[in-house]
Amino acid sequence: MAPFKRIVKKQLGELLIERGVITKTHLETALKIQKTKGGLVGEILVGLGFTKEEEIAQALTIQYGFPFLPLQSYELNEATVKLVPENVARQYCLIAIDKIGDTLTVAMSNPLNAKAVEDIEFLTHCKVQVFVSTLSDVNDAVNKIYGKGKK
């Protein structure tokens, strides 16, 4: 799988500042936390209450060109969703949403996770098309189809 190409050469934090979503101070705080504890800048910014998940997802669509798909009103097909085993869906925070021919469309909270895409391609023998969705939307959809038992 080829590495993801940026459409916009700016970092996520820069895009969020330009769009008026966060301040430079917010970004600096998140970057300090990332340096000491690790994690994704977008998730840290959301966790600190500086922005919403939707803003991060939309910035990723600008940055990398992934289409954004809000899952709340999307009708999921249980058979399609279950093409991806529950443990894999939960591990990578993704959900299969459509299959046409040998192409499986998945919604992911972290569309830059190349390992997740490779694993799904291997498991399903399909080419994977990625959409961006929020962590909450994906978790809600996974829980709706698979149940809330495992996490």
List, for residues 15-48, the tens digit of each pLDDT value: 999 999 999 999 999 999 999 999 889 999 999 9
* Helix axes of 53-64 and 135-146: crossing angle, nearest 10 degrees: 110
pLDDT at residue 5 greater than cutoff 70: no
115 token code pair:
């390992």
Sheet holding 94-100, edge to edge: 94-100, 103-108, 127-132
73, part of any domain: no
What domain range includes position 102?
Answer: 78-146
Which residue is listed with tokens 């569309």? 111
38 C-beta neighbours (distance < 10 Å), count: 8
Dmax over CA atoms of the chain, in Å, equals 47
pLDDT of residue 2: 47
The model's pTM: 0.79
91, part of any domain: yes
Q: How many domains does the chain have?
A: 2
Same domain, 135 and 83: yes
List, for residues 98-137, the tens digit of each pLDDT value: 999 999 999 998 888 999 999 999 999 999 999 999 999 9
List, for residues 46-89, the tens digit of each pLDDT value: 999 999 998 998 888 888 888 999 898 889 999 999 999 999 99
Same domain, 60 and 83: no
